[in-house]
Amino acid sequence: MVYLAAGLISLALVFAGVPLFRKYALRHGFVDRPSARKIHHKPIPLMGGAAIYLACIITLLLFQGITPLSLTITSGGLLLVITGLIDDAYKAKEKEFPVWPRVIIYLGVSMLPLFFGISIAGVASPSSGSFIALPEWISWAGTILWIFALINMINFIDGVDGLASGVCTLSSLTLFVTAIVKGQPDTALLAFILAAACIGFLTYNFYPARIFMGDAGSTFLGFTLAVIAVDGAFKKATFITVLVPMLALGLPILDTAIVMLRRLISGKGLHRADKLHTHHALMRWGLSQVQTVSFMYLIAALFSLLSIILLLVMG
């Protein structure tokens, strides 16, 4: 089966790549250092995101070749990984990379799928089956907003060992099932490749983490999941099943909404890093890292299960 073969290659590439990037990061001091805002107590190598990116892209090009989808992920992902590595390099020197260059790059990357014909085009009527196309400006704005939001949302939840990689595994597998049900093999292939890469990375990233994915990895995962949803679950969705990708990514969406609300109430800048995330709250209540991550996995799994039930019943 092509999906299994692609998944095994993606998994193997991560297994092979992570130790190499980890060794390089340690040798050159490319590490995330402890601080008052962070929960780890010793420097942890970064650059795991580069291993995830290379594993996904090599496998995708090997099995899918040059397509609008593979070009979107390859080019957009490369820009995000480079930006993330620069940001991570600042962190390694205990400095902060300016916000606005990142915002501009994230917006530019969010527009990239439009050039390859990937966008939220409209919805299908559940009664007549006819397709209701959205005005072009709404289609473009909705696509850009969705992708830009997911890039940041996955980045936000990457604060506890294994959380982002585990949640992205569940979301990828959910979008894989969605693509299979909707008869979208190219989107399904990408989703499965991404899930396999996340599983491989999770073996190094679960508590106690031996490497972090860094901003390079979290932004790439957010971008890829967002594009998978646009190219798959959102394509010809009904008014009901448009909720499927939102539920599949329900945990990062919910966490971001809670954090933004807390920052508004406290009068802090929306872009300011803090310890207001759900995983921080759970640990303040006395849960360990493993308990916190396990609880959030459970919530993410419930969201995923609900989205699949909705797809099968209403799709």
For 260-297, the pLDDT digits (tens) are 887 777 666 555 555 667 777 788 888 899 999 999 99
Lowest mean pLDDT among 113-127, 143-157, 170-184, 260-274: 260-274
For 95-104, the pLDDT digits (tens) are 888 889 999 9
User: In this predicted structure, what is the pLDDT of residue 85?
Assistant: 96
* DSSP codes of every residue in 44-103: EE--HHHHHHHHHHHHHHHHH-S-HHHHHHHHHHHHHHHHHHHHHHHHHTT----HHHHH
- Per-residue pLDDT band at 10 (split at 50, 70, 90): very high
Cα dist from 16 to 131, 144, 213, 220, 247, whole Å: 45, 34, 15, 19, 33
Query: Across the chain, what does the average pLDDT equal?
Result: 89
Q: What is the pTM of this model?
A: 0.93
Can you tell me the distance from the alpha carbon of 84 to that of 93, in angstroms, rounded to the nearest whole number? Answer: 14
For 227-238, the pLDDT digits (tens) are 999 998 887 676
Delimit the domains of the chain by residue range: 2-239
- Per-residue pLDDT band at 127 (split at 50, 70, 90): low
Q: Amino acid letter at 70?
A: S
What percentage of residues in the chain have a pLDDT greater than 70? 89
Lowest mean pLDDT among 196-210, 213-227, 281-295: 281-295
